[in-house]
Structures are given as structure tokens and as C-alpha cells.
């Protein structure tokens, strides 16, 4: 009797989960379907996942006749530098804010928080003017500065919050064991903060990887396009190349998925378990 009841509840649970999986996966599948439709059936309303006359032409087109690989490299370059900057600056700034007392500590933290209250679009104009004056229009440096500035406040705050949970006696112990302050940081505290570092890295990467609005203002030359700009260029006044659009969208999302899977192994809690009496 009990087994039967369990079976029914299991089936219901799985049905419920399947339903939500379907809701989550449907758009992705749909995009995939569109990407393999032959050119003459792009606006078809058929629900078949594999359409009649399926073809990978869009993918081939993307990599052969369009500068897609170049855009991808551009995006990797920008996102990579933003990620590196984010991790390097947020991990050290967060550490300073967590461990040291200095004049202006409180106000600088509040200042960082305040920047988060303005929508990015509002900052577009002043940023654009600044970049013009710095002659950084059509340069990745301009883009990287803006992306880093957008991502850093959040990253610094969350790194600081994480460092706060690491007991101070670990550094003290390291310093007595023979570390100077810097060694105590990178040999002991830095490895222990890896869950927070992963979040910082992911957040910085995502900030740069999928950003369109700022990039559209700063970058105007096709050869400098990042992926979101490239994708948008498949759209013209007369219509959109939906096949290319869909194929590119899928490929763009792959690095993000891979990054999540690879980094998730570091996203574990309880790293400091056992170090001190809790």
C-alpha cells in the first residue's frame, strides 16, 4: 500500500519536473530547429524538431563566409581581460576592505554600492563622452574599462563578504609560520576563497560576454565587433537572417555553459570546515 502511494507520488513528481524541463528547453530546441531549417522554410510554423530538408548550411555559412570566428575571438579577448581584471581587483580590494581599517573605508564601500543603483543605460551618455575624450572609441580598452567598472562593485562586495567569513587566526597562524602579509594572503586565504572567486569570475565574464548596449555605442567597425554586435548585424532593415541568427546564438551560449560546468566544481561550500572550532 505504502509502496503504491510512493510510486504515485514519484510519478507525479517526475511529471512535474518534466513539464518544467520542457518549458526551459523549448526555446533552446526551437532555436536549434530554426538554425537547421533550409533557407526557404525559415518562417514555417511547423513544430517538427528536425524539419524537412534539415541542413547545417547556416553553421557552414557562419564559419566560412562571415567573420564569426573573428567576433568570437574579440569577445573572448574582451571577456577574458574583464574576467582577469575582475578577479585580480575584486579579490585584493575585497581583502583590504575585509581585513584593514583605513580612512574612508566605510564611504568607499557605500560609494561602490551606490554605483549599483543607476541603470547602465543612464550611464551610457557620460561614459560615451568620457571615452571620446580619452580617445577610446572603437577600442577594446574602452569597452574593458566600462565592463570592469560595471562588474567590479558587485564583485568587490561579495569578495569582501566571503573574506569576512574566513577566520582571521588563519592568517595570523600563517604569519607566525613564516609568511609575510602577502604570502599569507595568496597561500592561505586566496585558495580558501575559491567559491567566491568563481562567482566573481563568472559574473565578470557574463557581464562582458553577452553585453550589447554599451558595445553598440563604443564599437563601430565590423572587424572589432563582439559576438552580440555580430549577431545583431544579421538583422537588416529588410529582414533578418534567422538561420544564421539562431546558429550563432547557440554557439555563443556554448562557452558560457562550458564555463559553468568547469567552474562548478569549485562552487562548493564548507571549504573552511575544520580549520577552526566552529
Partner 1 sequence: MAEVKLLNVGKVYEGGNVAVKDVSIEIKDKEFVVLVGPSGCGKSTTLRMIAGLEEITEGELFIDGKKVNDVSPKDRDIAMVFQNYALYPHMSVYENMAFGLKLRKFSKDEIDKRVKEAAKILSLEDYLERKPKALSGGQRQRVAVGRAIVRKPKVFLFDEPLSNLDAKLRVQMRTEISKLHHSLEATMIYVTHDQTEAMTMGDRIVIMKDGIVHQVDTPLNLYNHPSNRFVAGFIGSPSMNFVEGKIIQNNGLEFQSNNKKLEIPVSKNPERLKNHVNKKVWLGIRPEDIFEFSSRPDSNNLNEVNTKLEVVEPMGNEIFLYFVIEGEQFTSRIPAREKPNAGSNINLYFDSSKLHFFDFETEVVL
Q: H-helix or E-strand containing 124?
A: helix 120-133
> What phi-psi label fits residue 135: left (phi over 0), alpha (psi between -120 and 50 degrees) or beta?
left
The secondary structure of residue 223, as a DSSP letter, is: G
CB of 270 to partner 1, least distance (A): 8
Query: Which of 170, 206, 250, 251: binder of partner 1 (CB under 8 A)?
Result: 170
CB of 271 to partner 1, least distance (A): 6
Buried b (16+ CB within 10 A) or exposed e, 153-183: bbbbbbbbebbeebeeebbeebeeeebeeee
The secondary structure of residue 66, as a DSSP letter, is: S
Residue 174 interacts with partner 1 (CB under 8 A): yes or no? yes
CB of 168 to partner 1, least distance (A): 9
The string of DSSP letters for 153-220 reads HHHHHHHHHHHHTS-HHHHHHHHHHT--HHHIIIIIIHHHTHHHHHHHHHHHHHHHHT--HHHHHH--
Residue 180 interacts with partner 1 (CB under 8 A): yes or no? yes
Task: Please name which of 188, 166, 155 lies closest in space to residue 84, comparing C-alpha atoms.
Answer: 155
State which of positions 192-211 bind partner 1 (CB under 8 A): 192
Residue 69 interacts with partner 1 (CB under 8 A): yes or no? no
φ, ψ for residue 235, nearest 5 deg: -100, 130
The residue range among 25-33, 39-47, 92-100, 264-272 that interacts with partner 1, by the rule CB under 8 A, is 264-272
Query: Which of 2, 4, 265, 277: binder of partner 1 (CB under 8 A)?
Result: 277
Query: Which of 177, 213, 262, 268: binder of partner 1 (CB under 8 A)?
Result: 177
Residue 271 interacts with partner 1 (CB under 8 A): yes or no? yes
Residue 275 interacts with partner 1 (CB under 8 A): yes or no? yes
> Binding string, 28-47, against partner 1, x = CB under 8 A?
--------------------
Rounded Cα distance between 35 and 42, Å, is 9
Task: Please name which of 47, 66, 123, 8 lies closest in space to residue 247, comparing C-alpha atoms.
Answer: 66
Residue 167 interacts with partner 1 (CB under 8 A): yes or no? yes
Cβ distance to partner 1 smaller for residue 5 or 277: 277
Cβ distance to partner 1 smaller for residue 39 or 191: 191
Query: Which of 175, 250, 260, 266: binder of partner 1 (CB under 8 A)?
Result: 175
**Residues within the interface to partner 1 (CB under 8 A):** 167, 169-170, 172-180, 183, 188, 191-192, 270-277
Amino acid at each position: 500500500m505504502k509502496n503504491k502511494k510512493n510510486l504515485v507520488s514519484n510519478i507525479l513528481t517526475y511529471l512535474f519536473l518534466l513539464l518544467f524541463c520542457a518549458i526551459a528547453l523549448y526555446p533552446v530546441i526551437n532555436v536549434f530547429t530554426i538554425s537547421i531549417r533550409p533557407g526557404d522554410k525559415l518562417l514555417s510554423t511547423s513544430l517538427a524538431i528536425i524539419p524537412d530538408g534539415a541542413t547545417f548550411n547556416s553553421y557552414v555559412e557562419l564559419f566560412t563566409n562571415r567573420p564569426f570566428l573573428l567576433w568570437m575571438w574579440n569577445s573572448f579577448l574582451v571577456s577574458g581581460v574583464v574576467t582577469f581584471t575582475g578577479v585580480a581587483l575584486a579579490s585584493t580590494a575585497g581583502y583590504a576592505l575585509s581585513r584593514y581599517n583605513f580612512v574612508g573605508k566605510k564611504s568607499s564601500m557605500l560609494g561602490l554600492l551606490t554605483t549599483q543603483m543607476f541603470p547602465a543605460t543612464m550611464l551610457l551618455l557620460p561614459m560615451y563622452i568620457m571615452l571620446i575624450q580619452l580617445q577610446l572609441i572603437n577600442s577594446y580598452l574602452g569597452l574593458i574599462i566600462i565592463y570592469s567598472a560595471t562588474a567590479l562593485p558587485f564583485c568587490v562586495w561579495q569578495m569582501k563578504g566571503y573574506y569576512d567569513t574566513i577566520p582571521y587566526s588563519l592568517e595570523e597562524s600563517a604569519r607566525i609560520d613564516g609568511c609575510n602579509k602577502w604570502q599569507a594572503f595568496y597561500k592561505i586565504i586566496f585558495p580558501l576563497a575559491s567559491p567566491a572567486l568563481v562567482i566573481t569570475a563568472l559574473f565578470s565574464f557574463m557581464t562582458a560576454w553577452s553585453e550589447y548596449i554599451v558595445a553598440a555605442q563604443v564599437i563601430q567597425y565590423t572587424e572589432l565587433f563582439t559576438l552580440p554586435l555580430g549577431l545583431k548585424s544579421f538583422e537588416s532593415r529588410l529582414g533578418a537572417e534567422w538561420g544564421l541568427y539562431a546558429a550563432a546564438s547557440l554557439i555563443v551560449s556554448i562557452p558560457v555553459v562550458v564555463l559553468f560546468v568547469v567552474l562548478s566544481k569549485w562552487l562548493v561550500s564548507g571549504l573552511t570546515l575544520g580549520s577552526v572550532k566552529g
